[in-house]
Amino acid sequence: MRLLEKELLLRHQERRPVATGFVTYVSATAPVLMHCYGWEDYSDGYDDYAVMLSRDNGQTWSKPEVRWRSEVVPEGRIRYAEPAAFFDADTGKLIVLTDRVLYPQDTLDVDHAYTLVLDIYDAATETWSERQELQFPGERGPAVSFSFPIKSARGRLLFPGMRQRVDANGQVIHFRDCWAPVDEVVTILGEYRPDGSLAWRLGRPLRIAPEVSSRGLNENTLVELADGRIAAICRGDNSMFPEKPGYKWLSFSSDDGETWSDPELLPATGGEPIESGSNGSALFRSIKNGKLYWLGNLCRPGERPRGNAPRSTLVLCEVQEAPFALKRDTLFVIDEKGAGDSPDLQLSNFRYYQDRLTGDLVLFLDRYCQHGLAEWWRSDYYRYRVALE
């Protein structure tokens, strides 16, 4: 693995840093890419997600077109967030699920139920469908966050999702008065009907005791293994017991995301599991060499997580499939805190694609809080290119 390029793409504007959306090919064969990004007004308050096209494999881009913009309502503001996109090469359609939620008086309410909306882009006509709200009768609505959807070998769409856990009275659960709720992982399943439309439902939730992971499990990433199982790596959390280790958690599904095995610590070869802060990650199989890779934030040796932190080291490594484990001796640092960076630097919430022409990994991220928390907005958006051997 080699870092080939780190290029500044966009600077912060009007005290707003860039918020990642998605980046993907929107053609089965041609080098046509769609890149989506928005802007952050305040922590977890996003707006003005726009899309732009490249017809030359990312060398040049069309003018951004805003597609998800907030709306002022009497109760506050309805915002959109975290668009999760999957291009289905079999149908020529880009399927996008996006969070839509009310911010009372334009403030984040972590207990508010989420709604998902569906947008479909037809690559043949370069048009978007009318936006639809997804319904899950009898179920609490999920959110997508840091979500990289997949399509299984059996043709089912799996969008990684999450939602707040509730008690018997329907009240959102918080562990030890933590500011954030206890989450559970839930997979949003899409299946094609005979007429080509999609039927949506939810799989069974994957949970963990908050005494083990104080904010539960969320921001899971999925990959299909050679044996047909789906592996999920989930974000854990040690916020309410920082003296204890924090880890990523691993689970498997043998039925395309319907049900999940009990979560276990994410193993690493050659020793104990590697500690990590509470942050999302990505699993993918290389189109160049067929190997499985994991991309995310890990602690340095001897470093203890502090809730969300650290996010200042972004690593890529190979994954051993059987038994499943990160390959410790392949850990490669893509970016990390430099001499001029704040200790608060966050190299997380990235998006990526694999270059069809070269097999390179291309990722997009904002070097968030690079100048510190007090100037959180003064951060810029970069594109990295990594060669996979």
> In this predicted model, what pLDDT tens digit does every residue of 306-351 receive, in sequence order?
999 999 999 999 999 999 999 999 999 999 999 999 999 999 999 9
Q: How far apart are CA 42 and CA 107, in angstroms?
A: 9
Residue 358 belongs to what domain range?
2-387
- Cβ within 8 Å of residue 103, ≥6 positions away: 45, 76, 77, 78, 79, 109
Name the percent of the chain lying above pLDDT 90: 99
Is residue 208 over pLDDT 90?
A: yes
Q: Which residue carries 């929107």 as its tokens?
A: 26
Task: Give the model's pLDDT for residue 213.
Answer: 98
Is residue 389 over pLDDT 90?
A: no
Pairing assessment for the beta strands 198-202 and 76-88 based on DSSP bridges: unpaired
Q: How far apart are CA 200 and CA 95, in angstroms?
A: 12
The number of distinct structural domains making up the chain is 1
Task: Give the model's pLDDT for residue 72.
Answer: 98
44 phi-psi bin (left φ>0, alpha ψ -120 to 50, beta other): left
Confidence of residue 86 (pLDDT cuts 50, 70, 90): very high
Task: Give the model's pLDDT for residue 28.
Answer: 97
Summarize the confidence of residues 60-79 as an average pLDDT. 98
| Closest of 53, 1, 181 to residue 109, by C-alpha | 181
Q: Which two tokens stand for residue 162?
A: 């999450």
Q: What is the mean pLDDT of the chain?
A: 98
Confidence of residue 37 (pLDDT cuts 50, 70, 90): very high
Over residues 355-380, the pLDDT tens digits come to 999 999 999 999 999 999 999 999 99
Task: Give the model's pLDDT for residue 177.
Answer: 86
Calculate the alpha carbon distances from 181 to 113, 210, 223, 231 in Å.
Answer: 12, 10, 27, 25
Confidence of residue 198 (pLDDT cuts 50, 70, 90): very high
CATH of the domain at 203: 2.120.10.10
Is residue 225 over pLDDT 90?
A: yes
- Cβ within 8 Å of residue 297, ≥6 positions away: 276, 277, 279, 281, 310, 311, 312, 313, 314, 315, 347, 348
